[in-house]
Amino acid sequence: MTASADIQAGRLRPDDYVENFNDVHPPLDRKRALIESARCYYCYDAPCVEACPTGIDIPSFIRKISTDNVKGSAVDILTENIMGGACARVCPTEILCEGSCVRNTQEEKPVNIGELQRYATDHLFDSGQQVFERAASSGKKVAVVGAGPAGLSAAHRLSLLGHDAVVFEARDKAAGLNEYGIAAYKVPNDFAQREVEFILSLGGIELRCGQAIGKDFSLTELRRDYDAVFLSMGMAGVNALGLENEDLEGVVDAVDYIAQLRQSGDLAQLPVGRKVVVIGGGNTAIDIAVQTKRLGAEDVTLVYRRGKDNMNATWHEQEFAQLNGVKIKHWAQPTKLMGQDGQVKEIEFEYTQLDDNGRLMGTGDHFSLLVDQVFKAIGQSFVPAPLMNGAADVLELSSGRIAVDEDRKTSLSDVWAGGDCVTGDDLTVAAVQDGKVAAGAIDRHLRG
């Protein structure tokens, strides 16, 4: 990333970087965990369990915390969701378990399920114990493509069930977007890699980094050499604005920038503009807006083409961005990028509204913002090309992603898929559940 006069590294004092990218929710200590666990009613048919995509027995793990059986609590969590540690940090609990908690009323706050889950799983990770044991070997071998939450979850469950898993990962490190995408202050202290180590310590999982399907091997080869295949490559494509001048210096893909931020050993080296505009309305838009503000950008404006209720980012995330000084402007779409000497300087927007049929349309009124950096965060897309490269059979797609049934089985008899590369909620927890469900189905298939 090159720096121009207005896009500079080192805008803050060294201590500010540490503070700004520190753990956004400091962990509960024992006393606070005991107090919080005592707030749970241990509901029968608990709505929080229904709302958890991985179906963790929430009242059970909370009760164990209340009796100081923290290891037992962590086992409850990890049995259903092997990435329960990551999910405790990154799940939008306000629309999942905590959103459904019976204590979530106008007078009260929901039980802090996410923080309790973190308390239990951190306790286990810190102890360095392995609590799972593999079933007797089936002699079967499954290829997993992509070491993100979906792939790691599938590999762990397959290994538990007695199958060997070989995980092929294009990047240098495993963990997918937990390592390269999630906001830095949600998963500090190398948490993603610590979780990978815990998962691999079960045994029976071989991780091969720097190995990409479509480049180093083909789907046909995997189907020939393995008993089954699980595809979990996430979404490699980034949507473009479709405007002229999108190649100006300072117009940046948010996902790429976040990956650099997450891998940077020294945040003071990361160039950031003084005036930043973010275009989009989801997790990525919120994360890049907050992180550029925390890197020292003076003025960060997030612009979204519809209203606040239409944003994919939850109200909690929108509020978090605003508390961090991000301005959010709704009902406007970008129409023109203007530059000087190859560097973006100004961006023009048109106000939007819904027509009588509920379709989005421009109003004809415009406004402009002066800008040093424009971040594109208008969504990602699945790129099927690597799967087609050298493949004998073509996988069916649906809405641009891999088509799967409820078992996450694809149109090919020995291939399953899950996570962001199939249609779903595009959340870490949903990817983990896909991996778990697919592993169960693969197990049934392999055992005939």
Ligand X SMILES: Cc1cc2nc3c(=O)[nH]c(=O)nc-3n(C[C@H](O)[C@H](O)[C@H](O)COP(=O)(O)OP(=O)(O)OC[C@H]3O[C@@H](n4cnc5c(N)ncnc54)[C@H](O)[C@@H]3O)c2cc1C
Residues contributing to the site for ligand X (CB under 6 A): 90-91, 145-151, 168-171, 176-177, 181-182, 186, 212-214, 232-234, 236, 255, 258, 283-284, 287, 386, 419-420, 426-429, 431
Q: Considering beta carbons, is residue 118 or 409 the nearer one to ligand SF4? A: 118
C-beta of 42: minimal distance to ligand SF4 in Å?
6
Give residues 52-111 in contact with ligand SF4 (rule: CB under 6 A).
58-59, 101-103, 111
Nearest 5°: phi and psi at 277? -120, 135
53 is in the binding site of which of ligand SF4, ligand X, none (Cβ under 5 to 8 A by kind)?
Answer: none
> How many other CB atoms are found less than 10 A from the CB of residue 210?
11
Q: How many angstroms separate the CA atoms of 322 and 319, rounded?
A: 5
Site string for ligand SF4, 111-150 (x = CB under 6 A): x-x-------------------------------------
C-beta of 379: minimal distance to ligand X in Å?
9
Q: Which amino acid is at 153?
A: S
283 is in the binding site of which of ligand X, ligand SF4, none (Cβ under 5 to 8 A by kind)?
Answer: ligand X
Q: Which residues of 317-345 are buried (b: 16+ CB within 10 A; e: fewer)?
A: bbebbeebebebebbbbbeebebeeebbb
Nearest 5°: phi and psi at 158? -60, -45
Q: How many angstroms separate the CA atoms of 271 and 417, rounded?
A: 37
Q: Which residues of 185-206 are buried (b: 16+ CB within 10 A; e: fewer)?
A: bebeeebbeebbebbbebebbe
C-beta of 107: minimal distance to ligand SF4 in Å?
14
48 is in the binding site of which of ligand X, ligand SF4, none (Cβ under 5 to 8 A by kind)?
Answer: ligand SF4
- Can residue 43 be called a binding residue for ligand SF4 (CB under 6 A)? yes
C-beta of 283: minimal distance to ligand SF4 in Å?
24
Q: Considering beta carbons, is residue 74 or 432 the nearer one to ligand X? A: 432
Q: How many angstroms separate the CA atoms of 396 and 410, rounded?
A: 7
Give residues 411-430 in contact with ligand SF4 (rule: CB under 6 A).
none
Q: Considering beta carbons, is residue 62 or 347 the nearer one to ligand SF4? A: 62
Q: Which residues of 247-279 are buried (b: 16+ CB within 10 A; e: fewer)?
A: ebbbbbbbbebbbebbeeeebeebbbbbbbbbb
- With 0-12 / 13-18 / 19 or more C-beta atoms within 10 angstroms meaning exposed / middle / buried, residue 83 is buried
Q: Considering beta carbons, is residue 57 or 426 the nearer one to ligand SF4? A: 57
Among 19, 23, 25, 41, binds ligand SF4 (CB under 6 A): 41
Residues binding ligand SF4 (CB under 6 A): 40-43, 46-48, 58-59, 101-103, 111, 113
